[in-house]
Amino acid sequence: MPDHVLVDPTRRYPKPPFKKQAQPWPGLAGKMEPPPDHGETSYQGSGRLAGRKALITGGDSGMGRAAAIAYAREGADVAINYFPTEEPDAQEVIALIRKEGRKGAAIPGDLREEAFCNQLVDRAIKELGGLDIVVCNAARQQTRASILDVSSEDFDATMKTNIYAPFWIIKAALPHLKPGACIIGTTSEQAYDPSPELYDYAQTKAATMNYVKSLAKQLGPKGIRVNGVAPGPIWTPLQVSGGATMEKLEKFGGQTPLSRPGQPAELASIYVQLAAADASYATGQVYGSAGGSGQP
């Protein structure tokens, strides 16, 4: 798109009402109506991440997929992790990465298992020949009207996916990260303004924001930057696989000043910026993208 063409952000993408739709967890982007835009046809790179090597969890769909496509088009080799049932989405991403002439590694598995998280880092390093960008993006979100409806199994699964997994992955990756490397966590507007029906998920996003700031202080002297991205309502499989009620899904994003949900493609450039060397003074920061409704 030429730089001189202004695009009205309120009209760029679909607005509610959306069709009611449900999928088994964790859902597939390829079955959503309308399909999310991850930048497949729009993102254009300019070599900002040439030669870099990235691991992205949840890289099959949503912001992880948008980041994976953008990273490859900016010159990076990319390994993506995803739940095994998300294979169809993942293979689309790998094909797009390889189309750019970059290495694309598909590593399915369950992040709730510490042993797998360790194996994931080892495999990414082996297949890419190193590692210098770690994006902890995968998350579990299940809507529950009351805390009484959240089982211990539910709570455990959300904590393991959203908090334990980044802990295990970062611990495994850190000995391999050199000065100039970076870690990026996906937090949420839920960290600042939690919804009543996302009791467990919102807690994990506040914790993500916190570990970003803590690790940034710890790793800054080592030359390793740590930042976060805080999306608002974004059109991803998270919503149609139990993350939102049908009533909320139908109106999804309509409460924002832009009157619509965001698309993953609209956050791709943020993940690129936080990984790029020209953002070398940005660490401990949380970049919001919430259509005017979120904080920071």
Spatial distance between the Cα atoms of 209 and 185, rounded to a whole number of angstroms: 8
**Is 232 in contact with 291 (CB distance < 8 Å)?**
yes
**Is 205 in contact with 238 (CB distance < 8 Å)?**
no
145 falls within a domain: yes
What pTM, to 2 d.p., does this model score?
A: 0.97
* Mean pLDDT of the residues in the chain: 96
Q: Residue 144 maps to which CATH number?
A: 3.40.50.720
Spatial distance between the Cα atoms of 106 and 61, rounded to a whole number of angstroms: 13
24 falls within a domain: no
Q: Kindly tell me if the per-residue pLDDT of 247 is higher than 60.
A: yes
Burial 197-226 (b: 16+ CB within 10 A, else e): bbbbbbbbbebbbebbbebbeebeeeebbb
Quote the distance between the C-alpha of residue 24 and its chain's center.
20
20 falls within a domain: no
245 falls within a domain: yes
pLDDT at site 3: 60
176 falls within a domain: yes
Q: Kindly tell me if the per-residue pLDDT of 166 is higher than 90.
A: yes
The answer to whether 201 is a known catalytic residue is yes
Q: Kindly tell me if the per-residue pLDDT of 279 is higher than 80.
A: yes
Name, in order, each residue with C-beta under 8 angstroms of 249's C-beta and a sequence gap of 6 or more: 18, 20, 21, 239, 240
272 falls within a domain: yes
93 falls within a domain: yes
pLDDT at site 296: 66
- Between the alpha carbon of residue 98 and those of residues 77, 79, 101, the distances in Å are 9, 11, 5
* pLDDT tens-digit map of 184-235: 999 999 999 999 999 999 999 999 999 999 999 999 999 999 999 999 999 9
The proportion of the chain whose per-residue pLDDT surpasses 70, expressed as a percent, equals 99
pLDDT at site 260: 97
Q: Kindly tell me if the per-residue pLDDT of 1 is higher than 60.
A: no
Q: Kindly tell me if the per-residue pLDDT of 293 is higher than 90.
A: no
pLDDT classification of 295: cutoffs 50, 70, 90:
confident
Domain containing 256: what range?
Answer: 29-283
Active-site residue identified among 201, 211, 271, 287: 201
Mean pLDDT of 102-110: 98
* Total domains present in the chain: 1
Spatial distance between the Cα atoms of 34 and 232, rounded to a whole number of angstroms: 18
17 falls within a domain: no
pLDDT classification of 4: cutoffs 50, 70, 90:
confident
